[in-house]
Amino acid sequence: MAVYNVKNPFIAHLKSSKMLTSPESGKDTRHYEIDLSGSGMEFLPGDSLAVKATNCPDLVEDLLKTLKLDGDTVVTSPAKTEKSLRETLVADCSITQPEKKFLKLLAEKAGHGASEWAGLLEIEKKKELADYLWGREIIDMVEAHPVAWEAQEFVSSLKKLNVRLYSIASSLKVYPEQVHLTVATVTYDSFGRERKGVCSTFLSDRLDSSTPIPTFITPGKGFRLPEPEDETPIIMVGPGTGIAPFRAFMQERKATGAKGKAWLFFGDQTRANDYLYEAEWGEYEKDGVLHQLDLAFSRDQDHKIYVQTRMKEKAAMFWEWLDAGAIVYVCGDASRMAKDVDTALHEIIAEQGGKSEEEATAYVDQMKKDKRYRRDVY
């Protein structure tokens, strides 16, 4: 069987895509089905699909215009191949987030003109630099400092365009030779310019069935289901697109006749517009594959309700499941949600388990060691 990786990706193609959120939603979240026919690729629930996207051609043209460079100039790309500057910027370079190498060279070229931020390049000023760059992209920095660049010099100052990882939202047992993804399209405005997430808009705006999608599997070894005959309960916490691996979990557990109980916490902004895969969860409840479902739609009432709110409301039952050896899985936003869920977990263990703060921390630490607390956060 062929081994696919970043240097030897499988070229997949889009099978279908559909909106999961309604037009009235504040989000644009989509379901993608990608054809892997002939690849022989294998994966398990909990794995991720690596996608090698290309940059937005419009952004590349804006960048070339701002730099006053000819897109047909031949350069050596980060992949050590010779091609036009335009092709290189589209396919091989990271052209959105300004990185240190680019910034240092720009500071040298701009001299006094870069005095506002050049001092922030020191290691100890990491947070201040991040704050300054928030909402700014390479094109903003180039526009603000109109200095002369050679084509190769500019390319060499950039980092290579990395793959993006997405939690797989399907089971091979149910959907052989394809893989499903749940992706929120990232677009926003800052400093008077529309910004686009590189890979999410590659998927939403620039794909049809003929577009090559270079892909490979990244194993999620720490995010695995118990064996089907194992009666260990599982608790899944996955708001927003964090729901993706749990869709794969449910498909797999139904296909294998898994014995343990399953509990899902899902949340988003509104039930009417953002309830991802609503019909499917209802079917799993009806089939007895999903034993408990708790929903948290933050904007459906005056006060905000999140998944951690629902966890604490069901604290006694949550503790019962933990006491029975349940595995807790958390997927989604690392910066806020995962921290809040972790805090709620500690509080439930302390209150319901009659433990001190230190004992609750020790309990959670033991859960981690026993692989009963598994997180896929980003």
Question: pLDDT per residue over 266-307, tens digit each?
Answer: 999 999 999 999 999 999 999 999 999 999 999 999 999 999
Residue 66 has pLDDT above 70, yes or no: yes
Question: By three-state DSSP, how is residue 100 classified?
Answer: helix
How high is the pLDDT of residue 269? 97
- The pLDDT score that the predictor gives to residue 140 is 97
Q: Amino acid letter at 174? A: V
Strand 213-218: give its sheet, edge to edge: 164-167, 48-51, 213-218, 10-19, 29-35, 178-184
Continuous segment of H or E residues that includes residue 352: helix 337-352
For 69-108, the pLDDT digits (tens) are 999 999 999 989 999 999 999 999 999 999 999 999 999 9
Burial class (CB in 10 A: 0-12, 13-18, 19+), 249: buried
Question: Is residue 19 helix, strand or coil?
Answer: strand
SS3 state at 205:
helix
Task: Give me the residue label for tokens 């009806």.
Answer: 286
pLDDT digits (tens, 9 = 90+) for 208-258: 999 999 999 999 989 999 999 999 999 999 999 999 999 999 999 999 999
Is residue 223 within 8 A of residue 234, CB to CB? The reply is no
Position 1 confidence tier, pLDDT thresholds 50, 70, 90: low
Q: What are the tokens at 185?
A: 């399209």
Mean local confidence (pLDDT), 349-377: 97
Q: Which residue segments constitute the domains of the chain, with CATH numbers given?
A: 10-52+163-218 (2.40.30.10), 57-156 (1.20.990.10), 234-377 (3.40.50.80)
Cα–Cα distance for residue pair 280/28, rounded to 1 Å? 20
Beta carbons within 10 angstroms of residue 37's beta carbon: 12
Q: 263 near 281, Cβ under 8 Å?
A: no
| pLDDT in the model for residue 11 | 98
pLDDT digits (tens, 9 = 90+) for 139-176: 999 999 999 999 999 999 999 999 999 999 999 999 99
Q: Both tokens of residue 274?
A: 């953002």
Specify the 3-state DSSP secondary structure of 89.
Answer: helix
- pLDDT tens for 109-134 read 999 999 999 999 999 999 999 999 99
Q: How many angstroms separate the CA atoms of 369 and 99, rounded?
A: 36
Q: Please say if the pLDDT value at position 2 is more than 90.
A: no
Exposure class string for 266-301: b at 16+ Cβ within 10 A, else e: bbbbbeebbbbbeeebeebeeeebbebebbbbbebe
